[in-house]
Amino acid sequence: MEVLKKYIKLIGFIGCAIMIVGNFLPFVTAKASVLGVHASESQTLFTGENVILGIIALVIEIVLILMIRADKKKLTLIPVGIMLVFLLICKSSYAEADVGFASVKFGLGFYAILVGSIMCIVYAFVNGNNEPKKVANETKFCPKCGAKVAKSAKFCNNCGEEC
């Protein structure tokens, strides 16, 4: 868990990078076979009429990168949530199907965006603060004169007594 905390910001950036790459990978693939003729088509988020969706996804991912850079952990959940809703809408509208002569399957792009989103959720919830906690009381009092001395001091600066 400590390694995860140490590199949590990097995990967020890698998640964003995976999401961006996912935009350009096959998002959905449709295959059909009728009377011995086979056809297959893959679409990315930047293919044909999906260009607007691709641009919107890219803008959301850039906003996410800027939020991670600014260390706005909980606010990153907003663009990640939007991406997950987007994936859910795509999942229901493309609805993976297999009807004998035609099938629709989600491609690597869909799953890359999903994995990147999950990595960004991990970033939002893991506390990456590795700074040592400051001790509330870094001083002590001399047993002889009561003067304040550093906790690490062997002798009192006021009276010279051993602490």
Q: pLDDT means per 10 residues in the chain (163 residues)? A: 79 95 90 82 85 91 94 92 90 67 85 95 80 62 87 86 83
Tell me, yes or no, whether 117 and 137 share the same domain. no
3-state secondary structure of 29: strand
Report how far residue 84's alpha carbon sits from residue 90's, in angstroms, rounded to the nearest whole number: 10
Tell me, yes or no, whether 81 and 159 share the same domain. no
Tell me, yes or no, whether 149 and 83 share the same domain. no
Report the pLDDT value the prediction gives residue 129, as an integer from 0 to 100: 56
Report how far residue 16's alpha carbon sits from residue 63's, in angstroms, rounded to the nearest whole number: 10
| pTM, to two decimals | 0.70
Tell me, yes or no, whether 118 and 137 share the same domain. no
Report the pLDDT value the prediction gives residue 145, as an integer from 0 to 100: 87
Report how far residue 60's alpha carbon sits from residue 18's, in angstroms, rounded to the nearest whole number: 13
Tell me, yes or no, whether 41 and 17 share the same domain. yes
Tell me, yes or no, whether 136 and 94 share the same domain. no
Report the pLDDT value the prediction gives residue 97, as an integer from 0 to 100: 59
Report the pLDDT value the prediction gives residue 31, as an integer from 0 to 100: 84
Report how far residue 148's alpha carbon sits from residue 160's, in angstroms, rounded to the nearest whole number: 12
Tell me, yes or no, whether 95 and 143 share the same domain. no
Report the pLDDT value the prediction gives residue 163, as an integer from 0 to 100: 79
Query: Which residues constitute the domain of residue 102?
Result: 2-125
Report the pLDDT value the prediction gives residue 3, as an integer from 0 to 100: 72
Tell me, yes or no, whether 44 and 84 share the same domain. yes
* Contact predicate 87/114, CB 8 Å: yes
* Number of domains the chain is built from: 2
